[in-house]
Amino acid sequence: MLLGLTITCLLFPALTVPFSLLGYISKNKVQRVLGLFFLALFMGLMAMCFRDPKTDPDIVRYIAAVKDYANVSFFRAFNHGSYENLYVIDIWFWIIAKTGNYQLIAGTSVFFTYLISLYVLQDYAHSKSFNLRQRVYTLFLLMGLMNFCFSVNALRSELAFAMILLAVYRELYQKRRSVWTYFLYVLPIFMHFAAILLVLIRFIVSTKKRYVKIILMMLLLAPLVVETLVGIVDMLLSQLAVISYTQAFLKRTLMYFNWDTGGWATVVKDSGYYLLNKVFSYSVLVMMALAFWNIKRSKKKLWDEKLENYFAIYFFVIIACFFMQTPSYQRFTFVFFPYGAALFGQYVRENASHKVTAWAFNTVVCCLAMVGYFLSFYMLNTMIPVEKFVIDVLTYSPLFS
């Protein structure tokens, strides 16, 4: 059945939308899983149609990088590109290059990222007994809070971060400490240097509470702390992979903190779009904090203490990134906002009896989601005319492309 439906959807991608929605609202567990799969598949197929952008976004650079692997043997693929010691990227790019369909690099990343996000949202909704209205509400929020164009262009960081947050969710919320959970911690380290930070946070939350508080205070002085750490780590020998990884990550982070003018930083500084995007992201974080505080104030158990501490540190990492001129914060918010959608759904469920408060909160959150949809469509239209893109999506078939 799954194979037949998948082939049908690959022939007629538009059919994935009704299939996914019918599955998502179903009470049957298998059908719910199929709904997630087909909605993520549709997003992946949309990414496959993200072709020939008018501007020069990151996806153009990634496709060019993939093409370099086309005539390379498997064993020569390691460290072949510009991503030193990121072996998962080497393997991934090599496989895509051998298919000859370079758009798959965007399609696969977007598919798995959305699949992870949708899975977490639905699993959380099921564990908290969300009703149909609440599940549809959280899905609407998730799709609005996740910027599709960003998912196409930040394909390494989004997938790596989504995998680590899934590992955290599996370990600390679902209590599933299997080999697959730890595999999800390790694999992203070989996809993006910043993945080290997310794994490090997981170790920090296992320490004493006072260390967590120290880390939170250090994040408020992030530029100074990073500059100090760069000086310390540079004195270490870099033969060990973990040290070279850490050095590369810290130096790149410091570069982003110091990058105020020139190139991309100037473009962002003079852009009304990126100003709105920053205000939007900050507002969503504020609403997440308010929802979390409200639920905790009612003395109702929300999450495991370690999971709460993890998200607290992650939250302040994002706040620290707001001090950067470039929108680097979006690498972290993109995969964090699905958890925000789940939190908003929990808030609605807990405050169902307070109709005025719940209505006011829902109005603000839904307006933010609409702003998110606008930002996504506006960004898409600057790269590819929306009308052309929609026609391509509705008529595209990967089996005949």
Task: Reply yes or no on whether the pLDDT at 227 is more than 70.
Answer: no
User: Which has more pLDDT, 226 or 99?
Assistant: 99
Q: Which two tokens stand for residue 28?
A: 């049957």
Taking the C-alpha atoms of residue 324 and residue 322, their distance in angstroms, rounded to an integer, is 5
Nearest to 331 by CA among 131, 175, 194, 128: 194
Taking the C-alpha atoms of residue 373 and residue 143, their distance in angstroms, rounded to an integer, is 8
What's the mean pLDDT in 238-265? 70
pTM: 0.90
Task: Reply yes or no on whether the pLDDT at 24 is more than 80.
Answer: no
Q: What is the pLDDT of residue 27?
A: 72
Per-residue pLDDT tens over the stretch 384-400 = 988 888 888 888 777 66
Taking the C-alpha atoms of residue 84 and residue 61, their distance in angstroms, rounded to an integer, is 17
**What's CA 349's distance to the chain center, in Å?**
25
Segment among 79-88, 153-162, 254-263 with least mean pLDDT:
254-263
Residue the block writes with tokens 């064993």: 75
Q: What is the pLDDT of residue 387?
A: 85
For the chain, the C-alpha Rg in angstroms (whole number) is: 21
Residue 275 backbone phi and psi in degrees, to 5: -65, -45
What's the mean pLDDT in 351-369? 84
Distances in Å between the Cα of 386 and the Cα atoms of 12, 68, 266 are: 20, 30, 27
- DSSP string computed for 228-268: HHHHHHTTS---SHHHHHHHHHHHHHHHHHH--SSTHHHHH
- CB of 377 closer than 8 Å to CB of 143: no
Per-residue pLDDT tens over the stretch 51-85 = 888 878 889 999 999 999 988 888 888 877 777 77
Mean pLDDT of the chain: 84
Distances in Å between the Cα of 301 and the Cα atoms of 57, 133, 292, 304, 317 are: 43, 23, 11, 8, 24
pLDDT band at 107 (very low <50, low <70, confident <90, very high): very high
Per-residue pLDDT tens over the stretch 291-350 = 998 888 876 667 888 888 899 889 988 988 888 888 888 999 999 999 999 999 998 888
What's the mean pLDDT in 181-207? 89
What's the mean pLDDT in 140-145? 95
Residue 263 backbone phi and psi in degrees, to 5: 60, -130
